[in-house]
Structure 1
Amino acid sequence: MDDQSRSSLLTAEKPGPVRPLLAVHVLGPYLVTLDGVPAGLWHGGRNESLFAYLLTHRNPWPSRERLMHVFWPGSTQEAARNSLNVALHGVRRALRTVTDRPIIVFGGNRYGLDRDVDLWLDVDEFDRHLHQARRLHLAGRAEAAIREFEMADGLYRGDFLADSPYEEWPVLLREQLRLAHVDALDDLSALSFDAERYAAAASLCARVIEGDPCREAAHRRLMHCHSRQGQPHLALLQHRACVAALSRDLGVEPSPETQDLYHRIRRHEPV
């Protein structure tokens, strides 16, 4: 091999620069890390909310005017621009605790993330695992679906931007994600029940009901779990809780299916 060929081979094998990884948790406690090092000095509130908005509205990246309208809708243009600059300064100051590179860049009248930085966002990962779980469920791959649902559940450490309860823009997304999590727990409980893992299914049903007290199917599944674990008295108590929730929140009575299950358990029939 001549020197030129050897030089070309070494150049081809030389690895490229490692891209920094920005990991952001906005489900539950707020956490931003760059290559595993936490970024500090967020001071809560608007700085965290603004950074979260940028990362969850990437297609396309938001314009300056859009940010001014979302965060300072009642302010004059000059006041809103000044407030945006102050908030962006707070975001950049927090990020400078872990890097000197400009993580947030401005171009084409839009704010976005440095293209040479990789982003890991828990909301994106949560959605990805849910999509994969449901695809596997439809394909009849129950065990693989259970693993994906469990991954999604592990990512949901709390409500979206839980540390910023008074911000207006997250309200709809927060509720959508909360309900998606409750639905995921419901699906996971059903898969666990079908696999005859009644203790796990019962625990999941209780979490579903905590998030949606009027989800009657979850009450019934929990009644089934208690009965199959030899605890019919707990099943009857769960029926009482179901009746109370439906009456209190919806002003309705349980469905005939729920009532039939209740009577069968009272008669000590297998369910």
Structure 2
Amino acid sequence: MMVHNRLGLRMDQAQGSPATLGITLFGSLQIAFDDKPIRGIASDKIRGLLIFLAVEADQPHRRNVLAEMFWPNRPNGVARNNLKQAIANLRKVLGDRENTLPFLLISGDEIQFNLESSQRIDVNEFSELLDDCANHSHQEGGGCEDCEELLKQASELYQGEFLAEFSLPDSQAFEEWALINRELFQQRAARAYRELITFFEEENELKEARKYARRLVRLTPWNEESHRILMRLLARSGKRSAALKQYDICRRITAEEFGVEPSKATKELYQNIREGEIGTIPTTSSFILSGGDGEVTPAKGSVEVKASRQAQLPLRSLLIPSVVLVIVISTAFLLWFNVPGL
């Protein structure tokens, strides 16, 4: 039998164990105990603090760094006091004073989210599934059923962009951290979709392959290679009209976003489909996801971005960081975050 205690924490009367804390960060933000939304978190700033600690749970975080991150441009004493109140609010709402395994581990000047507590965080599960797939030993050539299942589970967890509807405009450090993770999770999701497309195509399950190809297009609509994959699959499935219509969609996007026509490769595929000559889809293991309309060379996995298109990118597209920019920003941020005294 499940009841609520005075803090709103759901408990099992028979065992006295806390309910599972669920944090959903892909798509709409949800923080709940056993699917029941948690009430009592005092502000978005405190939600952001919980989110950051939960995602970066592999290491402890110093109070002064957290205070500066969430309350920038405030006197040090004020910022640290705000952090103290925020932690007290979270401990009360999460019921940490009563939990055998608290959600927050506090030791001296450091705070860390406890991954041994009863919790489920979608982005952490997503990463673990993809890491398990990447580290799984299997024979080369052909599909791996274990990896296929791991990728499917990860893909179902990716229900939208990381923190798509949540922001802290007055915390630049948090916004940069969220942007970096948003881009990295997007890249990992796109790669998972590509792998699943290959698995299902090799099994001649073109309907399933098309499902993930459509997800890939929705995720990276600016990337012509995504459109070409879907065009090929539609054509191979006997849906020639739909494949040609997909080219029109791709052409409209390249015109609106970049002010140019589709690439030579896309036009050639379009002509092949019109003439009934359907090529095969390159294996996804050769791809590197580009931030814009990159030409992918399957044999080498290199990305060639036309300078003329890059020069015409609108501001909205420039806000999407490239892989290199993400690495640079990530490195700078982590150095600032982890070096004492900075």
TM-score (norm. length: structure 2): 0.64
Match in the other structure for 2:183: 175
RMSD of aligned alpha carbons: 3.0
Q: Relative to 1, partners in 2 of residues 1:114 and 1:149: Cα closer, same or farther, differing over 3 Å?
A: closer
What does residue 217 of structure 1 align with?
A: 225
* Aligned match of 2:110: 110
Give the Cα separation in 2 of the matches to 1:78 and 1:228.
65
Contact 2:126 2:157 in 1 (8 A): yes
Structure 2: 5+ residue stretches without partners:
1-15, 170-174, 280-342
Structure 2 residue identity aligned to 1:166? L
Name the CA shift for 1:99/1:37 in 2 (closer, same or farther; >3 Å): farther
Corresponding residue for residue 155 of structure 1: 157
- Separation of aligned partners in 2, 1:132 and 1:103: 25
Where 1:181 maps in the other structure, the secondary structure is helix
Asked if 1:69 is matched to 2:68, the reply is yes
Matched, 1:256 2:255: no
Partners of 1:263 and 1:135 in 2: CA distance: 40
Higher RCO (Cα < 8 Å, 6 or more apart): 1
Which shows bigger deviation, 215-224 or 115-124? 115-124
8 Å contact kept, 2:48–2:168: no
3-state SS, counterpart of residue 24 of structure 1: strand
Work out which of the residue numbers 98, 101, 114 in structure 2 matches 1:100: 98
More helix by share: 1
What's 2:25 paired with?
A: 26
Structure 1 residues 200 and 114, CA gap change in structure 2 (3 angstroms) = closer
5 Å-filtered alignment, 1:169-248, equals 169-248=177-256
The number of equivalent residue pairs is: 253
CA contact (8 A) 1:19 1:117 kept: no
Amino acid across the alignment from 1:188: L
- Judge conservation of contact 2:19–2:33 (CA < 8 Å) in 1: no
Are the structure 2 counterparts of residues 94 and 220 from structure 1 closer, same or farther at C-alpha, using a change threshold of 3 Å? same
* Partner SS for 2:218: helix
Distance 1:81 1:193, change over 3 A: same
- Structure 1 regions of 5+ residues with no counterpart? 1-16
Query: SS where residue 112 of structure 1 aligns?
Result: strand
Which range moves more in the overlay, 145-154 or 22-31? 22-31
Quote the residue 2:7 is aligned against.
none
1:3-49 CA-partner distances (Å, limit 9, x unpaired): xxxxxxxxxxxxxx989865433333323437x87644335612221
CA distance in 1, matches of 2:238, 2:115: 58
Deviations along 1:97-143, one digit per CA (max 9) or x if unpaired, are x8723532321310124586355432222112112334558844433
CA distance in 1 between partners of 2:147 and 2:32 (Å):
29
Residue 251 of structure 1 deviates from its aligned partner by 4.2
Of 241-250 and 222-231, more deviation after overlay is shown by 241-250
Matched residue, 2:287: none
Identity of matched residues, %: 26
Larger Rg: 1 or 2? 1
Task: Report if aligned partners of 1:45, 1:163 keep a CA contact under 8 Å in 2.
Answer: no
- Aligned partner of 2:295 in structure 1 is none
Q: Measure how far apart 1:69 and its partner are.
A: 1.1
Determine the structure 2 residue equivalent to 1:7: none
Of 38-47 and 208-217, deviating more is 38-47
1:249 to partner: Cα distance = 2.3
